[in-house]
Amino acid sequence: MSDIKKLFSLKGRNAIVTGGGQGLGKSMALGLAQAGADIIIAARHTESALKTKAEIEAEGVRCTVIQGDMRNEQDAKRMVSQVLQEYGEIDILFNNAGTWRGDDAEKVTTEDWKEVIDVNLTGPFIVSREVGKVMLEQGKGSIVNIASMSGMIVNTPQNQCAYNASKGGLIMLTKSMAAEWAKRGVRVNAICPGYMRTEMSEERYQRKDPAIEKWFSMTPMGRSGRTDELMGIAVYLASDASSFVTGAAYVVDGGYTAW
């Protein structure tokens, strides 16, 4: 019989969290740190990441901030090299960095489409590929992609075809890599949040966007999610507690997709 405390413990492991300086990434990074993991934050802009670093170190673990654009192959390779140099191995990867653009499909510019796909899908692929090489050589590792319920349903009332397509693609990338690497010790899963109140969406809440009332009316719990409500699933998927889980996409949406 396994010891449940040991199953959920991340002591002695290290986790890369892209875009871990704020929002969902920050909360998940803190959750991993509280479970004992050392944290590496990879971010394009390091100001918020450095503030989060101090909060993570207050949990009694190490934290390193690495500046880089994970859409850029050279930045991703440099990040992996630095982590290996400082930490010796890579146990956990959270592909959290993301962006959003919304508009009617006929108005979406090619530039906006490419930006969303590059950040939300191409970036996670590049980082997963480079980290995956390390994990496959180690014979172990857990990769978690932060997708969205928008990869499974079409949102309303806002139109956001590029975002939906990017997150749907990320879910399928998750399943594809999981199937390929399952017998080689590397697990790949996805978390699919519903409407979460973060820095990215705060402006909508402040101006009382009518869309928010619509979202809540379609959510059984009748509210948005808190960023800390992803901490539990993050630790679960990173830890040995989920050792028989791969290729899964966990929806955390207050029941939105149940109706």
pLDDT single digits (tens) 180-233: 999 999 999 999 999 999 887 788 888 888 899 999 999 999 999 999 999 999
| 77-86 b/e (C-beta count within 10 Å ≥ 16 → b) | bebbeebeee
Phi then psi for residue 135, to 5 deg, are -65, -40
What's the mean per-residue pLDDT of the chain? 96
Q: How many domains does the chain have?
A: 1
Q: 131 near 184, Cβ under 8 Å?
A: no
The reply to whether 132 falls in a domain is yes
**pLDDT in the model for residue 204:** 83
**pLDDT in the model for residue 205:** 86
Four-CA torsion 80, 82, 83, 85, nearest 10 degrees: 120
The reply to whether 254 falls in a domain is no
User: Cβ neighbours of residue 63 under 8 Å, at least 6 residues apart?
Assistant: 33, 38, 39, 40, 41, 52, 53, 56, 57
Mean pLDDT over 23-40 rounds to 98
The reply to whether 258 falls in a domain is no
Nearest to 28 by CA among 238, 248, 183: 238
Q: 100 near 23, Cβ under 8 Å?
A: no
Token pair for 209: 């966007």
Q: What is the pTM of this model?
A: 0.96
Q: Quick check: 256 pLDDT over 80? A: yes
Paired with 145 in beta bridges are 95, 190
The whole-angstrom separation of Cα 68 and Cα 74 is 9
The whole-angstrom separation of Cα 170 and Cα 88 is 28
The reply to whether 153 falls in a domain is yes
User: Catalytic: 163?
Assistant: yes
162, containing H or E segment: helix 161-181
Radius of gyration in angstroms for the set of CA atoms belonging to the chain, rounded to a whole number: 18
The reply to whether 257 falls in a domain is no
Domain CATH number, residue 132: 3.40.50.720
DSSP annotation of 121 reads: I
The whole-angstrom separation of Cα 167 and Cα 25 is 16
Question: Choosing from 163, 236, 250, 256, which is the catalytic residue?
Answer: 163
Domain coverage including residue 48 = 4-249
The reply to whether 50 falls in a domain is yes
**pLDDT over 90 percentage in the chain:** 93
Distances (CA, A) of 179 to 138, 160, 195, 247: 18, 29, 29, 7
Task: Report the sign of the C-alpha dihedral through residues 101, 103, 105, 106, in that order.
Answer: negative
The reply to whether 255 falls in a domain is no
The reply to whether 209 falls in a domain is yes
Q: Which amino acid is at 171?
A: I
**pLDDT in the model for residue 1:** 63
